[in-house]
Chain A
Amino acid sequence: MNKTLRKLLLGGPYMVWIAAFIIIPLFTVVYYGLTDKTGAFTVSNITAMGTPERLKALILSLILSLIATAICLIMSYPLALILTKMKTGATGFIVTIFIIPMWMNSLLRILAWQTLLERNGVINQILGALHLPKQYMINTPYAIALGMIYDFLPFMLLPIYNSLERIDPNVVNAAYDLGANRFQTFWKVIFPLSLPGVISGITMVFVPALTTFVISDFLGGSKVLLIGNVIEQQFTQVGNWNVGSGLSLVLMVFILISMAVMQHYDKDIGERTTIL
């Protein structure tokens, strides 16, 4: 009796937290997404995704966030490998350098890129001073991808670095000892053991990149719309919470699919290595 009371007291705040900030908001979105203005059930908010403009935004979002995730991975993995090989002091220094931008407001960092990429921005001014032609950079999908990569790179680097760091050096030595060369040791031992980090890195970059509207707002202007902007407009400009929620639900399905794929790979590690 006493024990259950204590459990309730200890777990209570957590339960309240989950209910208030996860379950209730989620159900609210589901409710709005599946009802019309009068409160009657409808799927029209879901099918609202079917317009060419919105589909284009969704596909562009998927493409850009996939590209950003891939480039983050390609940049982070070798760096994380190098970091684990370095002396402790140097590692801490470089990791800190990568984390420091995260201490700044993300809006501020994106604004900084805007200033750099603008038509009369810093880069074009330098190009002009060198008598080189001006480049059209802002308001393109490339600028958005760049912003995503810059913003989310640490979220890829840190989990990969952590998972590589945790590998017992003797496990790597054991692979060499059993006759594997550097290449074989990497593909058969180091990479599979770091996959959990790679997967959480991918999730932590892909999901925010897919749903962002801030980066596309500042670096894409009104020229390039991502699905995040479309949803945002429904809430802030059109004022149609029902359609906004319906579109969010569709986006959520894509996120769930991507996470399921990742989970699947995580479980398959053992089998995969024998194929390799």
Chain B
Amino acid sequence: MSTKLIDLQNITKSFDGNLVLDDMNLYIRENEFLTLLGPSGCGKTTTLRIMGGFETPDKGRVIFDGQDITSLAPNKRQLNTVFQKYALFTHMSVAENIAFGLRIRKKSEDYIRDKIKYALKLVNLEGFEDRTPDSLSGGQQQRIAIARAIVNEPKVLLLDEPLGALDLKLRQDMQYELIRLKNELGITFIYVTHDQEEALTMSDTIVVMNQGYIQQIGSPEDIYNEPQNAFVADFIGDSNIVNGTMIQDKLVEIFGVRFACVDTGFGNNNPVDVVIRPEDVELRLLPDIDSGDQEKYDEAVRKITRVNPGYFEGTVSHIIFKGMHYEIEVQSHGFEWLVLSTRMFPVGSRVLMSVDPFNIQIMNKPASEAEMAVTMDEHL
């Protein structure tokens, strides 16, 4: 395992009596693409600003490369930030923007000229030297902001929702750009976003945060497939989160129906949260019960229960075509299930819903936010 480049120890920060970060511990390894993910107000931007030096924690220490930099000024830190909404110097040309940090460090003009050229090439904006920031599109401005930061050869690049102001297509393009940049530069990226898709696409490690606490740390696959609590499950992708009772190991009861699952160690007859991803619900069309075609009905049930004894009956209440799939809402047991399916089910039709045991995630019900918090050490 590579070394800890940044180590946040027991960071606590509040603004005007509002606790934003509570005793947070987190470390970032060298050369990692780490994403701080969470809804607004979860403390992710504050965490980034503490690393950048724009906020000082009330308690705790920031260790960078073995040195305590908790109260070091931002201009003395070996990291650079790409700010929300670019924060370019509008009174300077593109070249002057990029040269800003280098001129401060009194680099030679030859060196600066080469660096500007290199950086513009890296962000695919060759020949833009003499343009002004105002004449550039949002995506181009964002690239200049990145170029301005990376010419200083920081060990860490902090990115504060850099793609937030861009439209969807451009955002996707920039995600691949960022991954490429990260690989070419070979430096650590710390990325803040509220967009779970962005986080899943780019990160090596995702830190899910909520209300000042870290909820889960892990690889994108871990976070998506094995959410540790209902918050993470809900925040990462769409989820059906329902109350259940763990009857015994590998058997859970939801709305009075028993389902086979693969989780163990939740005790017997314990209340739990059950998470089922919309794409994991299988739908089968039921013949209209009033038509009295009992035989067809029984056959449909038989087909499902061969694999898994548990199933729900429901009625399709809503269907939206999404291109690759349909997004379907099914009413069953007073709960609105979200289901993704490549097949079309007309509104009002009766369906059978089943789930593969492997796709049923069982989670303990959280007692409090603090209990939900985990530290990275626990997780690794």
Contacts and interface: CB of A to CB of B under 8 A. Distances in A.
A148 B274 CA distance: 75
Given A184-B104, A273-B96, A274-B96, A177 B85 contact: no
B91 A177 contact: no
Contacts of B88: 171, 174
Query: How big is chain B's contact interface, by range?
Result: 20 to 34
B contacts with A: majority SS: loop
Contact of B81 (A174, A189, A195, A273): A174
Interface residues of A, number: 22
A174 B105 contact: no
A170 interface: yes
B87 interface: yes
Interface in B202-216: none
Contacts of A171: 87-90
B87 A173 contact: yes
A176 interface: yes
B349 interface: no
A173 B74 CA distance: 8
Contact of A177 (B81, B92, B132): B81
A171 B89 CA distance: 7
A269 B93 CA distance: 11
A237 interface: no
Interface string B121-140: 00000000000100000000
B75 interface: yes
B152 A178 contact: yes
B104 A178 contact: yes
Contact of B91 (A168, A176, A192): A192
B84 interface: yes
B91 A193 contact: yes
Contacts of A83: none
A177 B96 contact: no
A178 B87 contact: no
A178 B100 contact: yes
Interface string A172-185: 01111111110010
Contact of B101 (A179, A270, A273): A179
A175 B88 CA distance: 9
B75 A176 contact: yes
Interface string B53-89: 1100000000000000000011100001101110111
Nearest to B99: A274
Given A170-B83, A188-B100, A177 B89 contact: no
A180 B85 contact: no
B44 interface: no
A180 B96 contact: no
B104 A270 contact: no
Q: Which of A177, A192, A270 is the most central at the interface, judged by chain B CB atoms within 10 Å of its CB?
A: A177
B310 interface: no
B222 to A, nearest CB: 32
Nearest to A177: B81
Interface string A232-276: 000000000000000000000000000000000000011001100
B148 interface: yes
B92 A181 contact: no
Contacts, number: 72
B52 interface: yes
Contacts of A168: 85, 87
Contacts of B52: 173, 177
A250 B104 CA distance: 47
A5 B85 CA distance: 43
B75 A170 contact: no
B90 A178 contact: no
A175 B92 CA distance: 13
Given A168-B87, A179-B104, A189-B89, A173 B81 contact: yes
A94 to B, nearest CB: 21
B302 to A, nearest CB: 63
A177 B90 contact: no
Interface in A177-205: 177-181, 184, 188-189, 192-193, 195
Nearest to A195: B91
A247 to B, nearest CB: 39
B87 A179 contact: no
A263 to B, nearest CB: 15
Contact of A178 (B53, B132, B148): B148
A170 B90 CA distance: 13
A273 B104 CA distance: 12
Contacts of B91: 192-193, 195, 269-270, 273
Contacts of A273: 91-92, 96
Contacts of B132: 270
A100 B80 CA distance: 45
6 contacts: A179-B75, A180-B75, A181-B75, A188-B100, A192-B91, A270-B96
Interface of A: 168, 170-171, 173-181, 184, 188-189, 192-193, 195, 269-270, 273-274
What 4 pairs across the A-B complex have the smallest Cβ distances? A178-B101, A170-B87, A170-B83, A176-B74
Given A173-B52, A175-B89, 10 more contacts: A171-B89, A173-B54, A177-B74, A178-B100, A179-B75, A179-B152, A193-B90, A270-B92, A270-B132, A273-B92
Interface of B: 52-54, 73-75, 80-81, 83-85, 87-93, 96, 100-101, 104-105, 132, 148-149, 152
